[in-house]
A and B are shown apart, each in its own frame.
Chain A
Amino acid sequence: MNKKEMIKHLSEKLSITQSETKILLDSTFDTLAELLAKGNSFNALGFGTFSVTELEKRKGFNPLIKKWMMLPPKLKPKFKASETLKERVNKQ
């Protein structure tokens, strides 16, 4: 499924124009990305939680140069699905 199909579906469901849907879709995920970049977390009820985790610096093996590397710490976006979503997906 690509973006076009998604916009088409959403606009039909909400009975708004596709261009309006597109603007809303883009701004939703832009906002979400901005929130995460600031280190905030967002709880979309019934869907899941978006948050940021910090990975400590660690050792890792680089298979290309065949050497152990000291990897720097890292901030990573994380998504945890809510119980409702899990149930819905695992129903069948």
Chain B
Amino acid sequence: MKIEGDKIFIDEFCEEVSKKADTTDENSKKFIHTLFDFIGDSLIKEEKVPIYHFGIFKKKWTPEKKGINPQTKETITIPAHYKISLTPSSLLANEVNRKYRNLKPNVLDEILTLTGLKKLTPAETIVLERTDELKKEHGKAKKRALITVIAGGIILLALLALLILVPVYYVKEDNSNNVVNYVKKVNRMFGLNSISEKLRGGKSEEINKEKIDEFMANSKKDLSQDRKIIETYAVKQGDSIFSISNKYWGNQYLWPDLYILNKDGFADPDLIYPDDKIVIYEKLGDPEQFSEVQKSRIVQAYIGIYRIYRALGEEDVSEGKANNDGNKIQSGKKRIDDSRWTLYTAIRYDHELLKKYKDAIYPEDIDLLNKYIEKFGYDGKKDKSKN
């Protein structure tokens, strides 16, 4: 497209040049005529006439070709000829293009390039401009999404912090700061009992019947060492393991010894049936004069019984018989009570039992038994009259 500028002719041009070169118009006019003549002459001889800082005048050989006259639509042959052109220097090109100097080429989207090199229709140019706007909007939307995500993250963190802090607060109210209680509390809140059992430490291990079996087999081996069998007794109606212990050894408190020698592994100590065969070994010793070895063996037997009672109690949640006060209590609870009394009985043989077998006894039971010992002494005789 041609630019609507002033058309300048040779006279006006010469005035400008003479002003610059500080000579007369005549001189400059003469010079300009000579100059263009000279360039034309040079083009006849040479391919290129370069002019420093302005451009290069070139002639290019074009062979004979066929063309169509657009008005008459006749085919004509265009003879071979030289084309004359000016290749502007970059300095000139930049100077002329000053208006659009700051515009840079943009990469087009894939879809828009499908039309290829075709000249753009007005609709397509609108699409191009529209995509620029869309890109801007897209950037804004991205920012908005980012802000939403960050805000959401902060809210989630706050909720998590609340979930953790609320149980901590309640635990502090209970005055029990230890981790186990805290975990219990949290688990109660979320109903995660299976996890709590694992974390409570030791419980699942103690309930494990195989472990008890192993323990019992070991103590059976220990107890039967260096002892002779006196006779085999058949259980009659009305017998209990206590009464049999009392009958042969003159002491009912030695019953765990008798029980462990006759049972293989895990079984309910409260149940023996008529015609069960019970092997009677000779007495372990006089409880008043037990040696250290004998003491440790009887204590081990007691702890075995404690574990069995305890395991039975943990398992059994059914309603049991009414106790002496007429209140119905869970039979499981009664078993747990039994387990504690069994352990308490053992304390008369070894006063340091609770410390020695710390790992085999529930911490809560240790606390409880320490209280019993304070109240009743080691053998249940102290201050008994007061209670």
- A53-B97 CB under 8 A given contacts A28-B32, A33-B92: no
Q: Is the CB of B34 within 8 A of A13?
A: yes
- Out of A1, A44, A47, A78, name the residue touching B46 (CB < 8 Å): A1
Sort chain B's interface into a size bin. Answer: 35 or more
- Tell which of A9, A43, A55, A57 touches B9, judged by Cβ atoms closer than 8 Å: A43
Which of A23, A41, A72 lies in contact with B103, CB distance below 8 A? A72
B162 at the interface (CB under 8 A from A): no
Residues of chain B within 8 A (CB-CB) of A1 are: 42, 46, 49-50
Given the complex, which residues of B lie within 8 Å of A45, measured CB to CB?
A: 9-10
Q: How far is the CA of A61 from the CA of B108 in the complex (A)?
A: 10
B144 within 8 A of A: no
CB-CB < 8 A to B119: which residues of A? 58
B82-90, B217-225, B243-251, B307-315: which lies at the A interface?
Answer: B82-90
Interface string of A19-63 (1 = CB under 8 A from B): 011011101111111011111111111111011111111111110
Q: 1/0 per residue B8-23: CB within 8 Å of A?
A: 1110010011001111
Q: How far is the CA of A78 from the CA of B3 in the complex (A)?
A: 11
Q: Are B100 and A74 in contact (CB under 8 A)?
A: yes
Contacts of B106 in A (CB 8 A): 69-70
Q: Is the CB of B8 within 8 A of A40?
A: yes
On whether the beta carbons of B1 and A53 are closer than 8 Å, the reply is yes
| Contact for A76 among B50, B93, B116, B117, CB less than 8 A | B93
Contact status B40-A28, CB under 8 Å:
no
A35 to B107, CA, bound (A): 34
Do A42 and B13 touch (CB < 8 A)?
Answer: yes
A residues in contact with B30, CB < 8 Å: 14
A/B pair count, beta carbons within 8 Å: 194
Per the bound structure, the CA–CA distance linking A51 and B96 in Å amounts to 10
Distance, CA A24 to CA B8, complexed state (A): 19
Contact status A79-B85, CB under 8 Å: yes
- Within B14-65, the residues touching A (CB, 8 Å) are 16-17, 20-23, 27-28, 30-32, 34-40, 42-44, 46, 49-55, 57, 59
A25-B35, A43-B9, A46-B36 given; A75·B99 CB < 8 A: yes
Q: Give the docked Cα–Cα distance between A48 and B84 (Å).
A: 10
Taking a contact as CB atoms under 8 Å apart, the answer to whether B95 and A6 are in contact is: no
Let me know if A89 and B40 touch, CB within 8 A: yes
**Min distance, Cβ B81 to any Cβ of chain A, angstroms:** 5
Closest Cβ–Cβ distance, residue B259 to chain A (whole Å): 91
Give complex CA distance A47, B8 in Å: 14
CB-contact partner of A10 in B34, B54, B86, B105, under 8 A: B34
- Tell me if B113 is interfacial: C-beta within 8 Å of chain A: yes
- Given the known A-B contacts A37-B96, A41-B5, A43-B8, are A27 and B42 also in contact in the complex, defined by CB atoms under 8 Å? no
B51 pairs with A29, CB closer than 8 A: yes
What is the chain B residue whose CB lies nearest that of A32? B54
Which residues on B sit within 8 Å (CB–CB) of A3?
Answer: 51-52
* Pair B100/A89 contact, Cβ less than 8 Å: no
Query: Are the CB atoms of A72 and B95 closer together than 8 Å?
Result: no
Q: How far is the CA of A54 from the CA of B3 in the complex (A)?
A: 7
Cα–Cα, bound, A92→B17 (Å): 34
A-B contacts, 18 listed (Cβ < 8 Å): A1-B49, A9-B38, A23-B22, A25-B35, A31-B13, A31-B20, A33-B91, A33-B95, A35-B16, A43-B10, A47-B40, A53-B1, A68-B108, A69-B108, A73-B103, A75-B97, A85-B40, A89-B59
- Shortest 9 CB-CB distances between A and B: which pairs? A72-B103, A79-B86, A27-B20, A81-B84, A39-B5, A68-B113, A47-B36, A69-B105, A40-B5
List residues of chain B with CB under 8 Å of any chain A CB. 1-10, 13, 16-17, 20-23, 27-28, 30-32, 34-40, 42-44, 46, 49-55, 57, 59, 81-82, 84-86, 88, 91-93, 95-100, 103-108, 112-113, 115-120, 128
Q: A27-B20, A41-B8 are in contact. List 13 more A-B contacts (CB 8 A).
A: A1-B46, A10-B31, A23-B22, A33-B95, A38-B5, A41-B5, A41-B6, A55-B1, A67-B108, A70-B106, A79-B84, A81-B84, A91-B44
